[in-house]
Structure 1
Amino acid sequence: IIVMTSNVGGELIKRHMTIGFAAHIDGERKQQTEYEKMKENVLGEVKKDQRFRPEFLNRIDAQVVFHALSEEHIRQIVDLMLDQVIASVQEKNVTLEITDEAKDFLGKKGYDPDFGARPLRRTIQNLVEDPLSEALLRGEFLPGDTVVVDCAEEEIVMKPLVKETT
């Protein structure tokens, strides 16, 4: 199996995104009909596009047009990527707690309508993984600590969880 991606017809998909959100209000059936129309237009665009010769297109068994990512999908992707970060610092006996505000901020910062969720990986690396690694190396967080990752004033902040003494 070989999977190839292209942004041919990307403009049609972007234009459809607003239609898709409006259609959701009217029900799932209308949304599916709108998607089918958009898919037909995109596949027609692929056939008309000069970048792909007919001989090449005839060798492809199937073409899939994906639905645009919703905010819920982006949040799920953020959660999956952050789970990997959490697991990697747990190996160093450091617990990571990430607030919903931080997750939402990372999703907004890392999602690009033109590139989808691809930039999310870089965003999480630049805003969470790299600063956390540097803080661990400087000794700001120690084994046994719980680090809270939050969003304040449009930036990611990290601080140790202060344990209440009884």
Structure 2
Amino acid sequence: VVHFENTIVIMTSNIGTTFKNKSLGFSSNEDEKESQRVNEALKENFKPEFLNRVDEIVIFNRLSKQNLRDIVDILINDLQNVVKDKGIKIGISDEVKDFIVEKGYDEKYGARPLRRVIQKYIEDEIADVFITSDITKINMLTLQLLNKKIMVEKN
């Protein structure tokens, strides 16, 4: 038996994302209109019995480029901590981070693809270095963008 007496349940949905105003800096009037449109879309997609059990609906703004860059920094920091255990530091240029943001953002899925893009373009490249090199002789890996390709330099 599960008790939900002291539980907060958070649900997410992409309902209403087509209504999002593409301009920055909503006025309160635009916020209200957007909220009304999202609530109408919720009523079209969910039964009233379900919606009446939801205490609050929070509408999130689209992620900005800076938000995405911050997420990339967090994900790369996690990778750096894993590699640090092998005694290797990773330096990643701003151009590489911007490349990852561009490749990893999807208007439909938001930042969800970022993890896969980092794996494909960064982790796989680092893994190739680990497989083909004597990692005991590597102190630093530097990742830079050259002709729209991420290059790994061993130091």
In which range does the TM-score fall when normalised by the shorter chain?
0.7 to 0.9
Query: Which shifted more, 123-132 or 81-90?
Result: 123-132
TM-score scaled by length of structure 1: 0.81
Name the TM-score, length of structure 2 as normaliser.
0.86
Q: Which moved more, 1:57-66 or 1:132-141?
A: 132-141
Of 134, 148, 152 in structure 2, the residue corresponding to residue 154 of structure 1 is: 148
Q: Can you give the 5+ residue segments of structure 2 that lack an aligned partner in the other structure?
A: 1-7
Q: Cα RMSD over matched residues?
A: 1.7
- Does the alignment pair 1:110 with 2:104? yes
CA spacing shift, 1:147–1:36, aligned 2, 3 Å:
farther
Compared with structure 1, are the counterparts of its residues 5 and 130 closer, same or farther at alpha carbon in structure 2 (3 Å cutoff)?
same
- The 3 A distance-change label for structure 1 pair 96 and 151 is same
Residues 52-71 of structure 1: pairs in structure 2 closer than 5 A: 52-71=46-65
Partners of 2:32 and 2:38 lie apart in 1 by 10
Q: Residues 10, 87 of structure 1: CA spacing in aligned structure 2 closer, same or farther, 3 A cutoff?
A: same
* Deviations 1:30-78, CA, capped at 9 Å, x for gaps: 54543343233212211123xx111111111111110111111111011
- The more displaced of 148-157 and 109-118 is 148-157
Q: How does 1:12-161 map to 2 (within 5 A)?
A: 12-13=19-20, 16-17=21-22, 20-21=23-24, 24=25, 30-49=26-45, 52-139=46-133, 141-142=135-136, 144-161=138-155
User: Aligned partner of 2:43: which letter?
Assistant: K
Q: Which runs of 4+ in 1 moved over 3 A?
A: 30-33, 140-144
For residue 17 of structure 2, what is the amino acid of its counterpart? G
Equivalent residues, number: 148
Q: CA deviation at 1:89?
A: 0.4
* Partner-residue secondary structure (3-state), 1:67: coil
Contact 1:94 1:143 in 2 (8 A): no
Identity over the aligned pairs, expressed in percent?
A: 34
Distance in 2 (CA, whole Å) between partners of 1:60 and 1:83 is 36
Structure 1 match to 2:17 = 10
Partners of 2:154 and 2:54 lie apart in 1 by: 53
Residues of 2 paired with 1:2 and 1:59: CA distance? 11
Identify, as 1 or 2, the structure richer in helix.
Answer: 1
Q: Which residue of 2 aligns with 1:164?
A: none
Q: Secondary structure at the match of 2:108?
A: coil
CA distance in 1, matches of 2:138, 2:111: 33
Code of the residue aligned with 2:31 in structure 1: it is: Y
Structure 1 unmatched runs, 5+? 25-29, 162-166
